[in-house]
Structure 1
Amino acid sequence: MGEIPDSHPRKASLLARAKLTEAASQGLLAESALIAHGRGEAFDYLLGEKTSKSASLAIRETAARLLNAERPVISLNGNTTVLAGEQAVMAAAIIGCPVEVNIYYRTPERMEKLTSTLEEIRNKVSRMTPPTGWNDAHWHDTVNSVEILGADADGRIEGLEGPRAICSSRGIEAADAVLVPLEDGDRCEALVALGKQVLV
C-alpha cells in the first residue's frame, strides 16, 4: 500500500485493512476475517464513524465490571489480536487478568501464530511508557505477568458446539466475567447461561 496522506478521511480504516491483509498472508486469520471486518466497518460507517455517547457509557461500565470481577478474562480472536492486541494486553495488565485466544477456525498452526503474536505484543507493551500512576519497573513486571491462554485447550464452554467451545480451564471456563470484543451471539448466549457476565 502506498503512503496515505493524513488528510485522507478514511486513513485509519485503510491502515486497519492493510494490517489485516498482512496478517492474513501470514496465516494468522481465517479466510473470512476480512469479510467480518468489512461488516463491522459498514456498521461503523452508518454510525458516523464516531463513538456515541451510549457507547462511551458502555465502555466505562465494562471497565468497572471487569475491575470488580473476581476472575475476569479478555477473549480475543484473530482480528482483535491484530487490530487491538496492544490495547487488550494493556487493559489486561491494569485489570490483572489473562487474555485468551478463542477462535472458530481453530488449527494448531493458527493458535501458535496468534499466541506467539500476543507474546510479542506483550513484550512491546512492557517497554512502552506506562500509564499515569505506574512507574516503569512496576508496569514492565505487571505487563509481563499477563497470561496468554488458549493453546492449552483443556476447558469447554458447556452448551456450545464447535471449535469455540474449546477454551482454557484457567481462562474462559473459570471466568466470572468475559470481555468479548467481537461476537456473533451463540457463544455469548452459552456464557450467559453458565452465569457469567458477558461484556461486548
Structure 2
Amino acid sequence: QWDVNTQKEFLRIIERESNHLQALIDNLLDSSRLQSGQMSFDNQIVRLDALIRDEAARAQINHPSLVFHLDLDSAIRPVWGDPNRIAQVIDNLITNSEKYAPGAEIFISLHQQGQEVIIDFRDTGPGIAEQYLDSIFKRFFRDPDQSIKVHGSGLGLSICKEIIEHQSGHIEASLPAGWGLTFTITLPIYQPRNTPSPTE
C-alpha cells in the first residue's frame, strides 16, 4: 500500500500526462483543420489591450511563478479578427515560455504603427540557437537542445503562424541582444466599411 503523499503524487503525474495528451490531440486537430481550410473563424472587432491583459491574468492564475511586464497602449485602434484564436496564439506563446524558460520574465508590448497593430512578446529565457530560428514555425519542428527535456508536439508555433496569417497578419521570431526570444505579431487595424445611404 502506498501512503497518502505517494498517492497524491501519482495523481498529479496522471493529471499532468493527461493534460499533455489532450494538448497534443488539440494541436493535431487544429493543425489538420488549418491545413484543410476547415477551421472556422468568428471575426469581430477586437481590443487587443484587453485581450492580452486577460490572457496574462489567466496564465498567472495557472502558473503563479510567471512574471509579466505589460506595456499596452490602450489608445490603439482595434483589429478585425477572431478573439478566441488570437487569444490561443498569446496563450501558446506564454505556455512555451513557461515550458522552455521556467522562471523567466515575460515582456509584452502593444503599439500601433500606421495601419497596423504590433505585439512584441519577449521572454528572458535561454532562447534558441540561431541556426534553428528559421525552422521554429515549421510543423513538427522541435528544438533539438530541448526536445528530450520538454513535452511538446512541435505544432504550437506552426498553428500560431497559420492563425495569424488567416487574419491577414504576420508573425516572426528574432533573437534580441542578450537572452531570450522575441515574437513580433503584426495585425491590420479594423477598417469599417462605409455604410451606403438609403438613397444609394
TM-score, with structure 1 as normaliser: 0.24
TM-score, with structure 2 as normaliser: 0.24
Q: Which has the higher helix share?
A: 1
- Higher Cα Rg, which structure: 2
Q: Which has the higher strand share?
A: 2
